[in-house]
Structure 1
Amino acid sequence: MIPRYSPKDMAAIWTDEAKFQRWLDIEIAAVEARVEAGFVPSEALEVIKEKARFDVEEILEIEKETKHDVIAFLTNVNRNVGPQSRYIHEGLTSSDVGDTCLAMQMRDAGRILLEDVESLIGVLAERAVEFKYTLEMGRTHGIHAEPLTFGLKLLLWHQEMKRNLDRMKRAVENISVGKISGAVGTYQHLSPEIEAAVCRKLGLTPSPISTQVLQRDRHAEFLTTLAIIGSSIEKFSVELRHLQRTEVRETEEFFSKGQKGSSAMPHKRNPITFERLTGLARIVRSNSIAGMENVALWHERDISHSSVERVVMPDSTIALCYMLRTFRDTLKDLLVYPDRMQQNFDTSYGLTLSQTLLLALTGKGLTREEAYRLVQRNAMESWQNKIQLKDMVLRDTEILEHVSAEEIERLFSSENILDKLKKSVDTIFERNGL
């Protein structure tokens, strides 16, 4: 991922330095396990721990000749260790190191993402409570539907991120496995006990079965989980982009002093952060497809997955980390305009209370079909002539035969709308633990 979108703590997991350090940790853990099992003298381990070093630039230079990164790494380390290096990588295959390392990187990246998801959940909860009773028009198909509150919208996102937290926990758990099982996973030169000891030292669980590699359904699940979380961030961002449109303007990204919105139009205040997050979601989501393409490898292993993972794993985890933190920080400072929400609410002439009127009529004994006919007749004329639905209904003698003018006034009053909403809102918030 380019530096522009790379949080330092997440990017640090994916550097060559960090990768080679994990490789060295795995190799030393394997020697330690074999010392404990009585296969390697403890003196050799002491020498290896003291002298085992690597140089990234030298490894990359050696790889130009070997065309094999693990061999290049071992060549560099062994030069520093000397004769005792014969115990390094003994019985292992390259994927024992590479796949176990990748699992460690994904686990560590996943832990950072879990913290970021939890942080966003906290901000969503705070702002949902803040706007718990802030009246807003609900929209379906982009058209005014029925009243809700802005707090409910934020609570909906809060619950979605809680589900994403559960997904992320499962994905991290399922990728936190290692394999030290040899060329086709049959322990020809090591034992399952050695594998278990190495994995324990690294904080991993041994894969119950493997080939030369860990199976890529684990990696696909991880990437797909990132894609789902990224899609959630996109969903929230798209909604807030719509709400910032000039003709809506119910919310707005904070616009800092000195910020510019356009090189040509000085008046512009654009939702650029939410647009940026929408774009990054496309990358994270498309990378999940590449992860699923990696599931079907030849026989016990081919290397077609490797080049893909070198790109998509760093890019997806780094991008999502950036997205979570950026959305959280932007949401903290989000400008919310309740007065504008009320103005927009009033632009539909009370038509969004059509169902309330419909139910009032059926409650008086009319059939649903007859009530629907009466309400729709007034609603269409109200919309066409830009007249408040309440005023139309108060002039409709056929409706007044069933519902009194006083009842109509009460049905259309803001107090009635809010009173009914508050009961539902309280129940929904309580049901969701807020």
Structure 2
Amino acid sequence: MAYLFSPAMRFHTWRKLWLNLAIAEKELGLNISDDAIKEMEANLFLDVDQFKVAAQEEKKRRHDVMAHVLTFGTVAPAAAGIIHLGATSCYVTDNADLIFMRDGCNLLLDKLAVVIHRLSAFAAQYRALPTLGFTHFQPAQLTTVGKRATLWIQELLWDLQAIERARDDLGFRGVKGTTGTQASFFTLFKGDHEKVKALDKRVTELMGFKYAYPVSSQTYSRKIDIQVIAPLASFGATAHKMATDIRLLAHLKEVEEPFEKDQIGSSAMAYKRNPMRCERVCSLARHLWALQNNTFTTAGTQWFERTLDDSANRRITIPEAFLTTDILLTTLQNITEGLVVYPKLIASRISQELPFMATENIIMAMVDKHNADRQECHEAIRVLSHQAAKVVKDEGGQNDLVERVRKDPYFTPVWPELDSLLDASTFIGRAPEQVDEFIAEWVEPALKPYEKVISGAKAVELHV
């Protein structure tokens, strides 16, 4: 990703755009020599000396595109007079940005598919491990560790679909001229509308796009940037939510991110195991979704056919959005490949809360199987529950509701059934089956186009 947004790739792409413009113009009858095309083809990549020449020219001309037009001409002298023929600066700058965003989406989609795959394996492994659910971060009905992971995966799948859609919707600015009217090319082709249209279409094809935007100003509409950055920012929300959940689980000591053998959590508190990877995800995710606001303000403040106050902003916003998403995915892959689960501690926490949740099962067993009065049973279990809650909250003791039920003669009929009534696996509903069905029906089909990438992906080592 860093290379994609590097100066080397940017200026290489400009040269490729100039080459394909020349090829298309030659095919349509303009006087461009074979030598010009050959020299351009042979010098698409800049060496150190070329970068130095370009820097000197830009310092002199105060114009980056013209500096590179002139620099390209020094190594392709046969083409020096036709490089950038009929074009405006945005021919290379805007079309290049569209190329980078398209290729950047492809890189992100591959990494996102790997993360989804790793997390799906985790969900499948722990599909049936009961764990305490939380609503309002208060104990709620049981779920499973794997089922909870599917909630993260589902959002990641939506992000995968949204980024795919943004990539597939991307068009090419094409060959539109200084204010989008194609006037310069109309002149070059002596008023031949069909050749101007053919030029636009041919360059679009040569650069690997299915279509060019039908109309533009000097620039492509900056709303396109919104449509591309929005799903990245949305992914940031997914990453933040997932990482926050893991941070909270780490506090509960139920699930932890990877922790290296010699890793130090705190310079002062030697026992600490801080969730620094997930904290980093949350930090970068907030930066990512904040970047989206720049795309809104840039799109909304463009004047007529263009202003230049979008340029410096976009040169920061677009690369940062892709680079931030990229490192978030790298970090999430590292986390999902090394999540640590502590089943005994999870079971211990369940044992503290499950007796309260099992009261309804006890009432139903008393009423349905032993003909007890529902209201009397409810009152009896209510009294015992409040006594047990007082022990937990006021005295700091363990939840002894089950022991109280076992000692109360009223509940003698269900004493033999208490263990089965308190079996955690009977409180998780269809969670294991939901995990299986979700992976088979939703995850696997979504990941099918990425099978080769997933099979070749190596585990991430995160150097912190």
TM-score normalised to structure 2 length: 0.82
Alignment of 1:100-249 (within 5 A): 100-190=95-185, 191-204=196-209, 205-245=211-251, 248-249=252-253
Structure 1 equivalent of residue 461 of structure 2 = none
Separation of aligned partners in 1, 2:231 and 2:354: 43
Superposition map of 1:36-47 within 5 A: 36-43=27-34, 44-47=36-39
Which amino acid is 1:134 matched to?
Answer: L
Aligned to 1:30: 21
Tell me: CA distance 1:368–1:107, structure 2 relative to 1, closer, same or farther (3 Å).
farther
Give the C-alpha shift of residue 304 in structure 1: 1.7
| CA deviation string 1:101-153 (max 9, x = no partner) | 01111111110000001101110111111001111100111111011110001
1:49 and 2:50 aligned: no
Q: Counterpart of 2:306 in 1: which secondary structure?
A: coil
- Give the whole-Å Cα distance in 2 for the aligned partners of 1:290 and 1:358: 58
Could you tell me how far apart the structure 2 residues matched to 1:171 and 1:369 are? 59
- Once the 2 structures are TM-superposed, how far is the Cα of residue 56 of structure 1 from its aligned partner? 2.1
Q: Distance in 1 between matches of 2:232 and 2:103?
A: 14
Query: Match of 1:57, SS?
Result: helix
2:291 alignment partner in structure 1: 287
Which amino acid counterpart does residue 20 of structure 1 have in structure 2? F
User: Matched residues in 2 for 1:96 and 1:132: separation?
Assistant: 53
Percent of residue pairs identical: 23
Q: How does 1:77-92 map to 2 (within 5 A)?
A: 77-82=72-77, 84-92=79-87
- Which residue does 1:332 correspond to in 2? 337
Amino acid paired to 2:280? R
What is the SS of the residue equivalent to 1:277? helix
Q: 1:252 to 1:427 in 2, by over 3 A?
A: closer
Q: Quote the Cα distance in structure 2 between the aligned partners of 1:393 and 1:209.
A: 76
**What is the match of residue 413 of structure 1?**
422
Q: Deviation at 1:344?
A: 1.1
Query: 2:366, 2:414 within 8 Å by CA — same for their partners in 1?
Result: no
CA contact (8 A) 1:129 1:151 kept: yes
Deviation, structure 1 residue 66:
2.1
Q: 1:34 and 1:229, CA in 2 relative to 1: closer, same or farther beyond 3 A? A: same
Which one of 315, 318, 321 corresponds to residue 316 of structure 1?
321
Distance 1:198 1:238, change over 3 A: same
Residue 138 of structure 1 aligns to a residue whose secondary structure is strand
Query: TM (normalized to structure 1)?
Result: 0.87
Corresponding residue for 2:278? 274
Deviation at 1:352, TM superposition (A): 3.0
Amino acid at match of 1:292: F
The residue aligned with 1:252 is 256
Partner Cα separation in structure 2 for residue 24 and residue 367 of structure 1: 86
Q: Tell me the distance in 2 between the aligned counterparts of 1:310 and 1:238.
A: 31
Q: Compare 168-177 and 360-369 and name the one that shifted more.
A: 360-369
Question: What's the secondary structure of 2:293's corresponding residue?
Answer: helix
The one-letter amino acid paired with 1:251 is V
Q: Which region of structure 1 is more displaced relative to structure 2, 252-261 or 165-174?
A: 252-261
RMSD (Å) for aligned C-alpha atoms = 2.9
How far did 1:335 drift?
1.2
Q: Which runs of 5+ in 2 are unaligned?
A: 186-195, 393-398, 442-464
Paired AA for residue 234 in structure 1? H
The number of equivalent residue pairs is 418
Query: CA, structure 1 residues 306+272, in 2 after alignment: closer, same or farther (shift >3 Å)?
Result: same
Say which SS state the counterpart of residue 178 (structure 1) adopts: coil
1:393 deviates by: 5.6
Shift of residue 49, structure 1, vs aligned partner: 3.4
Q: Deviations over 1:24-68 (max 9, x none)?
A: 000110000011111133434334434677522322232223222
Deviations 1:214-246 (A, max 9, x none): 11111112111111112211111111111111x
Cα drift, residue 361 of structure 1 = 8.5
**Closer/same/farther in 2, CA of residues 310 and 369 from structure 1, 3 Å limit:** farther
- Superimposed CA distance per residue, residues 288-322 of structure 1 (whole angstroms, 9 cap, x where no aligned partner): 11112111211111122211111122112112111
Q: Structure 1: give runs of 5+ residues left out of the alignment.
A: 1-9
Contact 2:249/2:255 (<8 A) preserved: yes
Secondary structure at 1:169 match in 2: helix
